[in-house]
Chains A and B, each alone.
Chain A
Amino acid sequence: MSAYEVSVASVIGINVILAISLNLISGFCGQISLGHGAFFGAGAYAAALVMTKVGNAPLAVAAAVAAASLLGTVVGFASLRVRSDFLAVTTIGVNFLFIGFVRKQAWLGGEMGISAIPPSGLGALGNLGLILICACATVAFSVYVNQSWMGFAFRAVGEDETAARTLGIDPGAYKLAAFAIGTALAGLAGAFYTFFTQFITPDAFDFIFSVMLLAMVVIGGVGSTFGVLTAAIVLTLLPEAIRFVNDYRLLVFGGLMILMIRFAPGGLAGLARAALLRARPR
């Protein structure tokens, strides 16, 4: 594998973890989050700090997951108090606050970010292997959650919290769980990103990136693990494979989002399901 291919594969793996974890929060549990980039960033920065000060990779991963999950739980608490569209605004706010804060902190590298981060010790191929293993594990975990009673309860909470209560389900507890788990995974992706690039800047975690992640979820099919997996892979590869897409990335993503929502609200997964239904002999 060439260095370029390793690089692309690594980014795909990271995006898969990010998109699937966002799907857990916004797809399974119905809590629209437009700030997933902030948790990714929290993880990346935590890992970067650990690597530059201590140089211990496993510790960096642990710190990343903890930092992201902590921030995520705080936002999760917010979701208990505010309605869904207010929550979306809150998550946008969290994203802006995160970037706004990081930009001003000298110890976090300010606008320039943190560079010359020590390598993880696994080498590029080793990093890739780790990323791919975790991406697969994330997909498997997502499938598991969907089949489990947690996924069942998530769907209820996402659709109608009051009705969920009358079935004995505590919507607050589940929303918190969704945020805690989803953001922990985003933090994990953040650590991998830090190992991969060895140089992070605040702009990598901004609102636009959060929107692109949500685009992957929407285009893949909100709530569908395999739909979102496909979308994450395709939407990461497309800019690499097609020059036009790379130059007009936001145009393509935005345009696809609109087209999907307008004409195929179930996303790629919905289209696949409809196609299968038509293929079946009646």
Chain B
Amino acid sequence: MPKIALPTPLRPYAGGRDSVDAEGTTVGEALAALTAQHPPLQRHLFDEAGRLRSFVNVYRGDEDVRFLDGAATPLAEDDTLWIVPSIAGGAPTTEEAAPPLTNDEIRRYSRHLIIPEVGLAGQRKLKAASVLCVGAGGLGSPFSLYLAAAGVGTLGIVDFDVVDDSNLQRQILHGTSDVGRKKLESAAARLWDINPNVRVVPHDTRLSAVNALDILRDYDVVADGTDNFPTRYLVNDACVLLGKPNVYASIYRFEGQASVFFAEKGPCYRCLYREPPPPGLVPSCAEGGVLGILPGLLGVIQATETVKLLLGIGEPLIGRLLLVDALGLRFRELKLRKDPDCVLCGPNATQRTLIDYDQFCGIPHPEAAGPSEMSVEELKAKIDRGDNFVLLDVREPHEVEIAALPGSVRIPLRQLPEQLDRLDPAAEIVVHCKLGPRSTRAVKLLREAGFPRVWNLSGGIDRWAERIDPGVPRY
């Protein structure tokens, strides 16, 4: 009859013997005979589903039966089976250290708990997780609303802005009564109302190369909800340096794109765009506009990707760029590859710290207004004095329809190169757009084309409406 040799911890169940006889022609039969003789062995050797526990090794001679035929491995009369423990253990991992759910939370998250892919363990992961949302604007609104509702334990928000009327068309985190209030305050109040179990951590600051690493360090996932290139590169670089996933989206008019940049597993934003476009070339939403619903679509995609990353389920958007066209309602996908020469995440990366992102993106320092800048107050004085000059408006016709300054020459920026003959090279020209970026490009273009006396109106028609003439509508 085959014998089974027992390790020290199991011998007490067999009267202290170090081996027992067990009838059977296979490993499975012999083990069944063993547990029939000594029933307490059943729970120590097999799990609730009747499978051999992972830390129980059974050898026939010197061969692990897992590499033979498992329970069906044949046994001869004179064979000996050895039960050999794997001794294993360890400190709690983050997952095990995840906080339990209260009964209130179990009721609140029941629609999650009954999805097998989430379940109690997944919901506890969400509760233990921390996510940073950069910007409480168009993308940050649906993103933070859904993550708070989903039960993400800690939600950090970076924003320094105040709620403005023009935000309300898309930033559904804020309401009409919040206009003039700090976005952070308005956001915290709304998120608290949605789910008081979530800890909202406000970061009342502009994210910069000085503070980014310290702010991002404590979070598991970072979502970029900003609308400018310096911050986009800053968030990307800080995430790569800290080894965090960066859930990215951007929007413009009817189009959006989204991806997950996670340098440990795929490309980063710099692998996609090595360098930012020249300033003013790609208009921001403030300059070019955006369908209010679009950040809803893209922000919800960011929230979905974040929850997937936290739960470790599904296929993340790593190495893929999702292109959303709301007008055609089409979703396209581009494959992204890691740039082997990426200065940040490539094998020969040279950049190990954060840099000056305004300079990198060619944006002049706001205080260091160049010699080509003119303030709205100076323009007002010029008009009042009756100076002889040309006021050039480089905005699009549909913007001129909303608001315009009297007496201006209107040539949209994109038509300016062909319409230079409408302007006198000897004349003094003051160029404006809505906020400044397009007129900055126009000034550069005119100077290069041989117009020496060209000025850029700082802050555009928006600042004129703000400081000089409240009768001009702001849009």
Q: Do A and B truly interact?
A: no
A residues adjacent to B (C-beta < 8 A): none
B residues adjacent to A (C-beta < 8 A): none
